[in-house]
Chains A and B, each alone.
Chain A
Amino acid sequence: MKKTTLCLLALQFLMFPILNAQSAQPDFMRSIGKIYVVVAVIVAVFLGLVLFLIYLDKRLTKLENQINQHD
């Protein structure tokens, strides 16, 4: 759980400077009718789902360990 929170925080701090750097030269994020904004949004949704998968994976591992201890 703690690691997931850390991951989320890390993502925020990693992503925002990257996006900031891109919009500092207004030509990239705003070029070709701002299509890269749509790309960034889709990537954000995908990363969010992946982070959630990692969280589910950890919960499942915990459950598996409990079952193993039980046997």
Chain B
Amino acid sequence: MVKHWWKALGVLLVIYTLTVGMLIPLRPGITAVSPSSVRTGEQITIQVAGYNSNFKKAQDSIRAWLKLDNERAIAAQSISVKDDQSVSLIFDIPEYLPVDQRVQDMTLVIDNDADGASLLPSAVFVTQDSIDPEMGQQVWKNADISNLNDKKGITFPFRNILGETIRNTYFHVSLWLAMVSIFIISFANSINYLRDPLPIYDYKAKAYTRSGLLLGILGLLTGAIWAKNTWGQYWSWDVKQNMTAVSLLIYMAYFILRSSLTDSEQKARIAAVYNIFAFVALIPLIYVIPRLTDSLHPGAGGNITFGSQDLDNTMRMVFYPAIIGWFLISVWISKLQYRMDIIHARIWNLDDED
């Protein structure tokens, strides 16, 4: 029982991922504002929809600004709270803005002592009737955004289009990292086979490749479901999706190659060589090419990865265990497969002796 500890660890890590990954709430955020376009010199009333917010509970401490840039902001004239999820703000937009653009976007910042500060970038677009940055400087009544509150308790970050689907980091992104680790093991076994042609290395390479392929197919499927509800389509012919599909097809061809050869030693040797090439193709296909062109997928060209701002320390607390958990489960699945191959070989060897 003692030597099976890693299987138990894998199961525990996946259970941990499922429970903690689903139970920690999202940080309060702003989902929508209306209207989102205004003209200069107007007094506007903006309806704001919050998510997980406590506008009503923290009614007395609520403050709001429209931020032009890091130094300049306008404070709300008046704030009236309807309920926890909706508040209406009145802003006086000055006659002129201190910028020379016709249309200027402004970030909405709302702060209260229960939710902390939440912001929506480019929430409001201000159209200037006439452009005069100097007049804009003179009439500008600057409000300081200071003493922002912090949200207490553990939360996951709120991203506007993602919403709760940021949790898919543990059920989609982690699968790919586990898949690459599994393919590395398969690759190492293929190299071992070429150095020392023992059948066990071939069984292991085959088993790990199959588990890696399972993870890859699940990654593609879960990615498609996620894409449908954030990018709008299951398959957007995005470079990341295409290239991962190509690399999975390369790995599927590994099994077609195996089944097309009859001599078992020849099969093992050719499959080992093919597997090395497949792995060498995998890394540029899924990690390099998507970075060179534009892609919708995070971590590709024109789109930053889930870096410092999206993957915060709370998410790392679940994300890394998730990778290890999926990896250990896959190793377990692989072990079951090659143990079957060993038994299969034993039976046929017995037949030879008869």
Contact = CB atoms under 8 A, between A and B. Distances in A.
Nearest to B223: A41
Interface in B140-181: 162-165, 167-168, 171-172, 175
A34 B351 CA distance: 58
Contact of A44 (B164, B222, B230): B222
Contact of B221 (A29, A32, A44, A63): A44
Nearest to A11: B221
B120 interface: no
Nearest to B346: A67
Given A56-B337, A70-B351, A37 B218 contact: no
A45 interface: yes
Contacts of A33: 26, 51-52, 163-165
A52 B332 CA distance: 13
Given A23-B228, A42-B18, A44-B225, A37 B347 contact: no
B125 interface: no
Q: Which of B51, B228, B351 has the most CB of A within 10 A?
A: B228
Interface string B294-329: 000000000000000000000000000000000001
Contact of A37 (B165, B329, B344): B165
A38 B165 contact: yes
A34 B225 contact: no
Interface extent on B, as a size class? 35 or more
B340 A38 contact: no
A7 interface: no
Interface residues of A, number: 26
Contacts of B20: none
B280 interface: no
Interface in A2-43: 16, 19, 23, 29-30, 32-35, 37-38, 40-42
A52 B165 contact: no
A34 B164 contact: yes
A67 B221 CA distance: 37
A38 B156 CA distance: 14
Interface of A: 16, 19, 23, 29-30, 32-35, 37-38, 40-42, 44-45, 48-49, 52, 56, 59-60, 63, 66-67, 70
5 contacts: A32-B164, A38-B164, A38-B167, A44-B225, A56-B333
Interface of B: 18, 22, 26, 51-52, 162-165, 167-168, 171-172, 175, 214, 217-218, 221-222, 225-226, 228-230, 234, 329, 333, 336-337, 340, 343-344, 347, 350-351
Given A37-B228, A52-B214, A67-B347, 15 more contacts: A19-B225, A23-B229, A33-B164, A34-B163, A35-B163, A35-B164, A37-B165, A37-B168, A41-B168, A41-B222, A42-B18, A45-B222, A48-B217, A63-B343, A70-B350
